[in-house]
């Protein structure tokens, strides 16, 4: 971690960086509300120094039983510097984002990670709070963001992924509604993200009394992963034969193998496209549940279960995730190799 003076001299934040002294809490310099990290930064970001100073202060606290992350959260909660940081993130998302400031909420880390989307891998900005994970698309040279997504941490499960020559430092973020793969610029950054998120999840589960989520949405297989339907293995995709995704298993399938729709309440109130295999399995499961309900004599529940089977549909549905191609939401040239380049960066306390 670089000293505060050097971080300021090197311009770790663009846009009227202002050092206004040390606050009464002794947590380091107060930064202006405007927030913009230096483009292309690979090391600790704008406010990592604040987190480092907070951690130092926490280590000097008399309570030695608390864990370092818990000490830092308690130290920063409801402080002016934390309020400024959260306000800066809200400002970067603008009117399209949701309010993020809540009593007790602390901004712990941020970084640009590579998110594997349906069409290709794209850089996305991520913000880790003590209770939520926020990410969005990058616009205006990383000073403005949009397409904000907020994930409650008590719903998150992480799964490290094996290394390959083409894909490194990857892990999966799994929730009941959506699962996706991200990668960091280095093994160290990946481990920092995983350890920080898992510790925040553990603390959040303890605070809420909830149990870890056991059912997760399947991640979508990227389009480029296959040129043929992953179910029939006969249909070859082309400009005229488009790819579709099963909402249950995430496989890339052709239109003929994904004619069915099924109600998946975890994902949507509307019936969603599923492949033929998943439809048969889901329909069989519902029939068993109907028989069990019939034996128990519960017609109301039976009607509810029966409504889940929706059958075939000739109409098309929205077959893309939130990262729409051609929307100019921070798309990068396809020639950029995000797994091996220095695009990604992260900032945490040390």
User: What is the CATH classification number for the domain harbouring 130?
Assistant: 2.30.29.30
Considering the domain boundaries, does residue 324 fall inside one? no
Based on the fold, state whether residues 249 and 209 are members of the same structural domain: no
Which tokens sit at 187?
């093994």
Q: Which residues of the chain have pLDDT under 50?
A: 1-51, 53-66, 302, 305-307, 313-319, 321-343, 349-350
The residue from 216, 234, 258 where one domain ends is 216
Based on the fold, state whether residues 51 and 129 are members of the same structural domain: yes
Q: What pLDDT is recorded for position 347?
A: 62
Phi, psi of 291 (to 5 degrees): -65, -40
Based on the fold, state whether residues 248 and 189 are members of the same structural domain: no
The residue from 216, 241, 270 where one domain ends is 216
CA distance 195 to 48: 17
Residue (of 102, 147, 148) closest to 129 by Cα position: 102
Q: Which domain holds residue 203?
A: 4-216
How many residues in the chain?
350
Based on the fold, state whether residues 16 and 146 are members of the same structural domain: yes
| Total structural domains within the chain | 2
Q: Taking the model in full, what pTM does it have?
A: 0.66
Based on the fold, state whether residues 174 and 72 are members of the same structural domain: yes
Helix (H) or strand (E) holding 286: helix 276-296
Cβ distance 207 to 153 under 8 Å?
no
Based on the fold, state whether residues 137 and 264 are members of the same structural domain: no
Residue (of 135, 128, 177) closest to 155 by Cα position: 177
Based on the fold, state whether residues 95 and 227 are members of the same structural domain: no
Based on the fold, state whether residues 204 and 251 are members of the same structural domain: no
CA distance 84 to 29: 12
Cβ distance 250 to 267 under 8 Å?
no
Based on the fold, state whether residues 296 and 155 are members of the same structural domain: no
CA distance 53 to 40: 24
Cβ distance 249 to 218 under 8 Å?
yes
Which tokens sit at 229?
């339907």
């Amino acid at each position: 971690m670089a000293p505060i003076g050097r971080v300021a001299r090197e311009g770790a934040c663009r846009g009227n960086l202002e050092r206004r002294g040390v606050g009464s809490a002794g947590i380091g310099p107060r930064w202006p509300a405007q927030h913009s990290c230096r483009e292309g930064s690979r090391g600790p970001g704008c406010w990592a120094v604040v987190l480092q100073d907070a951690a130092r202060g926490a280590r000097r606290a008399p309570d030695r039983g608390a864990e370092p992350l818990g000490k830092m959260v308690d130290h920063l909660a409801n402080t002016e510097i934390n309020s400024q940081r959260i306000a800066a993130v809200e400002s970067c998302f603008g009117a399209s984002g949701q309010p993020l400031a809540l009593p007790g909420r602390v901004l712990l880390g941020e970084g640009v990670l590579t998110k594997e989307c349906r069409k290709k891998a794209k850089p996305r900005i991520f913000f880790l709070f003590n209770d939520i994970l926020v990410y969005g698309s990058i616009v205006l040279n990383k000073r403005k963001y949009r397409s904000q997504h907020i994930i409650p941490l008590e719903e998150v499960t992480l799964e490290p992924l094996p290394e390959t020559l083409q894909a490194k430092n990857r892990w999966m973020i799994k929730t009941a509604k959506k699962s996706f793969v991200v990668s960091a610029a280095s093994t160290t950054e990946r481990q920092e993200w995983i350890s920080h998120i898992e510790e925040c999840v553990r603390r959040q589960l303890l605070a809420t009394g909830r149990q870890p989520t056991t059912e997760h949405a399947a991640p979508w297989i990227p389009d480029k992963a296959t040129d043929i339907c992953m179910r029939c293995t006969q249909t070859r995709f082309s400009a005229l034969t488009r790819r579709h995704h099963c909402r249950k298993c995430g496989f890339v399938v052709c239109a003929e193998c994904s004619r069915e729709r099924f109600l998946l309440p975890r994902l949507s109130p509307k019936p969603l496209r599923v492949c033929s295999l998943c439809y048969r399995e889901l329909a069989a499961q519902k029939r068993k549940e109907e028989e069990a309900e019939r034996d128990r004599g519960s017609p109301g529940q039976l009607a509810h279960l029966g409504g889940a089977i929706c059958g075939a549909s000739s109409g098309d549905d929205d077959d893309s995730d939130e990262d729409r191609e051609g929307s100019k939401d921070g798309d990068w040239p396809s020639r950029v190799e995000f797994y091996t380049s220095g695009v990604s960066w992260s900032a945490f306390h040390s």
